[in-house]
Every structure is written in C-alpha cells, then in structure tokens.
Amino acid sequence: MQSIRRYIPLQDSTINNFQEQASQRLQTLKPWGDFLDRTRFSVPKSSSEFMLRAKLNWNHFNANYLLVGLIAIAYSLISNLLLLFDVVFVLGEFF
C-alpha cells in the first residue's frame, strides 16, 4: 500500500475501510457451481417475472457479479495499454 500512497493521498481509515469491505464481499461469494449452473437457466414468461428473477439473482449472487466485472475490467485494461494510459490520465486529472 505504500506505493499507492506515493501517487494517491489515502488516509489509513480509507484503506482499512476498503480492505474491510473487500473482505466482507469475498466472504459472501456463492459457489461458482451454483453461479454457473446452466440447468437453472430458463426463459422468463413475462417481463415482470424477468424483473423479479433479475432482482433475486442480483441479491443472491451480487459478489460473484462484482468479481466477474472487476476481472473483466482488469483484463480490458491489461490487454489494451492505450485504454490503461487513458484511464490513468483521467484519474490523474482528479488528483
């Protein structure tokens, strides 16, 4: 964390809060077998059923979705260096 503090002024409480939140999220991960079980997939009969299922699914698997999203973002940044430099430049404008 010392290397981050060199570039971004972070307080100890911010870092501790982030670490605590990340730890709590990782503890709520559901088994990947349940998350990716294709036998549970079916087409909803109506838009209201779709919305209900989407809300229930998000509430149950939100940590899994967030981790997949973070991995996708990290992969995008690593595989596209121009995008990485753009993001660093834009974030640098805020500090």
Q: Where are the domains of the chain?
A: 29-94
Q: pTM of the full predicted structure?
A: 0.69
Cα separations (Å) of 87 from 43, 83, 93? 38, 6, 10
- 30-54 tens-digit pLDDT: 999 999 999 989 999 999 999 999 9
- Token pair recorded at residue 63: 């940590």
Q: Which range, of 4-8, 12-16, 21-25, 31-35, averages the lowest pLDDT?
A: 4-8
